[in-house]
Amino acid sequence: IYYHQRTPHPKKVEEAFDATYLPFDDLLSKSDFIVLIIPHTPETE
């Protein structure tokens, strides 16, 4: 799993989920598809 957010998770969490933090541009170039998981609020609508 590749992921991006403002602050990377601690390495212990990444290892538990086999996840790798990537800068946004790298995430876009390495991914076949992207899933956005965000809260449904007026700001994100």
Per the structure, the count of domains in the chain is 1
pTM given for the model: 0.73
Question: Residue 21: beta bridge partners?
Answer: 3
Residues 6 or more apart in contact with residue 21 via CB below 8 angstroms: 2, 3, 4, 5, 8, 9, 14
Exposure string (b/e) for 11-34, b if CB count within 10 Å is 16 or more? eeeeeeeeeeebeeeeeeeeeeee
Q: Which domain holds residue 10?
A: 1-45
pLDDT tens digit string along 1-44? 999 999 999 999 999 999 999 999 999 999 999 998 889 999 88
Q: Are 14 and 20 in contact, with CB atoms under 8 Å apart?
A: yes
